[in-house]
Amino acid sequence: MVKSYVDPAKQLARIKQREFIQKNLLPFKRPDQIYVLCFPGAENEGEEALEYFEIYKPLGIPPQNITGLEMDPEKCQRLRDLNLGLNVVCQEDIHFLEQAKTLRMEWDIISLDYTWYFQPKSMYTIDLITNDRLMSNTGVLVTNYLGRRDSSESQDLVGRFHKTSNPIPLNMFSFQNAPHEILETPGYTAKVTYGTNNTITQDLQMMVETQSNVPFNLKDNKSETISIAVQTLMSSGKFALDFSALHPWSHLSPEETLVSYLDLIHDDTQPEHETMLEDYNCAYGRSPKEKISSAFRETFMNLFLLGGLHGGIKPFDLFLYGFVHMRPYFLEAHEAYRYISNNGSPMLIDFGLFKTHENRLNRFQNYLLINQTPEQCIIRVEAHETSFERMMKRDAIVQEMVPELGRKAKMFYLESDTTHATSERIFLGSSARADSRIEIPATDYALPPPPSKVTYTQRVLNKKSRKKKKRKKKKNRR
Ligand SMILES: C[S@@+](CC[C@H](N)C(=O)[O-])C[C@H]1O[C@@H](n2cnc3c(N)ncnc32)[C@H](O)[C@@H]1O
């Protein structure tokens, strides 16, 4: 069977994508101000750039605002020959994205319509987007992954996200801070001793053990975990490929930390050497520092959290500090769908509206002051001029941001009643022929998008069905 993206179930997913952008992005941006990065596709002659024709063109986004990536040279040439005005780039996404920051590129919509599984490479793509700020302050990220039983590498990755996204109740930790009211007035000094002590190490072991005991069943948990993985990766912000953003309570400078990790990895007399070396070798990054950040991000994050909490920083303040330095992309709206394509592949597609809340976070720049002494790190919460309380009274936007930040803080490890802001995955149907039970009625996918009367896919489908009828007629005549 010839592979083709003229596919009713995929077309339904495109319609959902167009509606999501219309509902969530167009209220903030004019179509001619929206820039897109996508894989337009050109599987067969006459099927070029379906994503552009079905999603962006009907929304009024001009072709010159669209960067179309295509790593297959033949398909790339087909797209170029079409002369639509799209900026067509013949490159694999990660190589292109690795350089995008130096070229000062930024998009409002990034649509990664893959034909493969969620795997370490996919994680790196999102790391580059969030670390290098490749999406604008308000943007839509679309991911589409193959949902079939896959390689053990990919299963391990999805399983790890499932386990570590399970929150641990605060009362399981040994630090003394009770969870405080989010709106409580701050104004205190905390002292964080450098390095780990026994209680931190115990808490760290407890976290790792608790999480490793979380059951993971690929069939039941995969689809939900993909949504959580994308959301979690986007929320890493500048921390995705740079651990120094979250390294305030270490007596080592970021450069010294890097050297100590590299020494540990390569020292085969150390018990942890082998697994660490394997993690490091599997990690993606443009430099040893990026690879270390990516391979050991959970450890860095846990040490940041536990070091801070043990030193007496209240959870909310700790997260606020983290967010000011990490600059996460916060998930604001989410939809998830699955469908079975015409070649029988189950696909998992997620749409997320992300915002950085850059201006709001800027107001908290001096809220937590850190003074590093030779023995410990002293943190003063509440900067004199921009005191938290005064800011609250003065600025309604900050007030709005505080519960929002509190909600996000809870999404990490700190509360047991956490629910992720992700939506349930909805089944759109199947276009696989053998699967006639769930065939999609033609009227569902043939709905013409505004303002064009007939969709591009519909035109191709009509043309194909006319040809088929002609052939049948000819055969009958004979
Ligand atoms: C699923 S198809 C795109 C379909 C299209 N978006 C549509 O709606 O019909 C993916 C296309 O992107 C290309 N592609 C897949 N992964 C890619 C990557 N990582 N970088 C660049 N191109 C990629 C494939 O060769 C293929 O032509």
**For position 450, what pLDDT does the model report?**
42
Residue 359 placed within a domain? yes
The count of domains in the chain is 1
Residue 2 placed within a domain? no
Cβ(225)–Cβ(161) below 8 Å = yes
CA angle, 335 then 339 then 344, to 5°: 155
Q: How far is the CA of 179 from the centre of ligand 1 (A)?
A: 47
From CA 299, how far away is CA 296, in angstroms rounded?
5
Which residues line ligand 1 at a C-beta cut-off of 6 Å?
A: 5, 14, 39-41, 50-51, 69-72, 75, 92-93, 113-115
Q: How far is the CA of 69 from the centre of ligand 1 (A)?
A: 7
**For position 392, what pLDDT does the model report?**
61
Could you identify the residue written with the tokens 């793509």?
125
277-to-156, 294, 298 alpha-carbon distances in Å: 17, 13, 16
**For position 439, what pLDDT does the model report?**
53
Residue 207 placed within a domain? yes
80-84 long-range contacts, CB within 8 A, separation 24+: 82/42, 82/48, 82/49, 84/48, 84/49, 84/52
From CA 213, how far away is CA 248, in angstroms rounded?
30
Cβ(49)–Cβ(85) below 8 Å = no
Report which ligand 1 atom has the smallest distance to the Cα of 7.
9
Task: Tell me if residue 141 falls in helix, strand or coil.
Answer: strand
DSSP 8-state symbol, 331: E
From CA 340, how far away is CA 218, in angstroms rounded?
18
420-to-120, 404, 409, 415 alpha-carbon distances in Å: 22, 13, 11, 12
**pTM (2 d.p.):** 0.85
Report which ligand 1 atom has the smallest distance to the Cα of 92.
20
Residue nearest (by alpha carbon) to ligand 1 atom 3: 41
Mutate to test the pocket of ligand 1, among 15, 37, 70, 337 (most ligand atoms within 8 A of CB): 70
Residue 1 placed within a domain? no
**For position 88, what pLDDT does the model report?**
98
User: What is the Cα gyration radius of the chain?
Assistant: 25
Task: Tell me if residue 339 falls in helix, strand or coil.
Answer: strand
Residue nearest (by alpha carbon) to ligand 1 atom 25: 72
Residue 272 placed within a domain? yes
DSSP 8-state symbol, 146: E
Residue 389 placed within a domain? yes
From CA 40, how far away is CA 70, in angstroms rounded?
8
From CA 323, how far away is CA 329, in angstroms rounded?
10
Q: Which domain holds residue 113?
A: 8-477
From CA 373, how far away is CA 361, in angstroms rounded?
27
Q: How far is the CA of 216 from the centre of ligand 1 (A)?
A: 30
Residue 35 placed within a domain? yes
Q: Burial, 241: exposed, middle or buried (Cβ in 10 Å; 0-12, 13-18, 19+)?
A: buried
From CA 360, how far away is CA 397, in angstroms rounded?
7
Cβ(244)–Cβ(238) below 8 Å = no
Residue 3 placed within a domain? no
Element (H, E) at 191: strand 188-193
The secondary structure of 267-329 as a DSSP string is: -TTSTTHHHHHHHHHH---SSHHHHHHHHTHHHHHHHHHHHHHHHT--HHHHHHHHHHHH---
Q: If the chain, 478 residues long, is cut into consecutive pieces of 10 residues, what is the mean pLDDT of each piece?
A: 87 97 95 97 94 97 98 97 96 97 94 93 96 97 88 76 71 58 58 79 82 78 83 90 85 90 93 90 95 91 83 77 88 93 94 90 80 81 57 61 59 46 86 60 47 50 72 76
Instruction: Tokens for 264, please give them.
Output: 């540990």
